[in-house]
Structure 1
Amino acid sequence: MALMLRDGVISDELWEVLESVMPQDVGRPGRPWNDHRTTLEGIIWRFRTGSPWRDLPDAFGPYQSVWQRHRLWSTDGTYERMFAAVREQAGLGGDDVEAILSIDSTIVRAHQHAAGARRDSVTSDDTQDTGGRIELQEISGRARGAA
């Protein structure tokens, strides 16, 4: 099952570029890290599927470990070094990278309140509430002890 999950996520060619900039375990206190490649593939799987961290398949290791490594790499500059290494290897400039990493608005989902619906479109029986003003007033009324 692990092979099915990992198939085609990080090619051997890409891993050769990334492996050189990954943090080293030497001199670091505590337990040795899980395999960087497997962890990175877990991070990619999580963002590709949009799943919560706790739903990460066991093939990638404990979700807490994968999340902690993602958090560390976000703050210690590992991701920046990874992007720089790929840019250098591919001979890409800053504009080329922005074109590759751009977000296409046709696939980005907006919250239902950003869809342009009128605020007074809620029915009188409140069956169509979507978290707008009416629900907030009801909640605040309950908090004050109102019936």
Structure 2
Amino acid sequence: MSTPRRYELSDFEWSIIQPLSPNKPRGVPRADDRRVLNGIYWRLKTGSPWADIPERYGSPTTYANRFRRWAKIGVWGRVFAAVSAAYDGDAAYDGDLEMIDSSSVRVHQHGGNVKKGVRTPRLPPLGTTLEPSAWGAREAA
């Protein structure tokens, strides 16, 4: 049993996740799923861009594509549920479960923008009246 690096899956975690990974037997052979997951895990834990994944994990394009594809077909939900269920009631478990949420994953500065062409009206701050006289405007003659 090998000791995983800091951001890599343990043998126990991999034994739970491996049967859940989609298997596409035809076409070009896929990159090793465990190595890809370790690269994705490293990226999510560090908050780095996809391009900064260490070379030992391979091409960043592979990881970004696999992450998006698996999110689209619901693989991540099944993986998280299976790993959580495996750790429930495990007396040997030392509480080192990793969680990924919006506090540990940064969004690109342009990621929060609204779709182009969609306008939302800007409202004044709360407590501000919409009467022109409240802003010091003069009455129209």
Fold conserved between structures, TM > 0.5: yes
Structure 2 counterpart of 1:91, one-letter code = D
Distance of aligned partners of 1:104 and 1:20 in 2 relative to their CA distance in 1, 3 Å threshold? closer
The equivalent residue for 1:14 is: 13
Aligned to 2:75: 78
**How far apart in 1 are the matches of 2:81 and 2:54?**
29
Equivalent residue number for residue 24 of structure 2: 25
Match of 1:60 among 57, 62, 70: 57
Size of the aligned set, in residue pairs, is 96
Displaced runs of 4 or more, over 6 A = none
How far apart are residue 108 of structure 1 and its match?
8.7
Distance 1:104 1:75 in 2: 18
Pair member with larger Rg: 2
Q: Provide the identity percentage.
A: 34
Aligned residue identity for 2:37: L
Tell me if the contact between 2:47 and 2:105 (Cα under 8 Å) persists in the aligned partners. no
RMSD after superposition: 3.1
- Tell me which of the two structures has the higher relative contact order, counting C-alpha pairs closer than 8 angstroms and 6 or more residues apart: 2
The 3 A distance-change label for structure 1 pair 104 and 80 is: closer
Deviations 1:51-96 (A, max 9, x none): 111111111111001100001111111101101211332337xxxx
Please report how far the alpha carbon of residue 102 of structure 1 lies from its aligned counterpart in structure 2 after TM superposition. Answer: 8.1
TM-score, length basis structure 2: 0.57
Structure 1, unaligned runs of 5 or more: 93-99, 110-147
SS at match of 1:88: helix
Counterpart contact for 2:45–2:105, Cα < 8 Å: no
Could you tell me how far apart the structure 2 residues matched to 1:102 and 1:62 are? 22
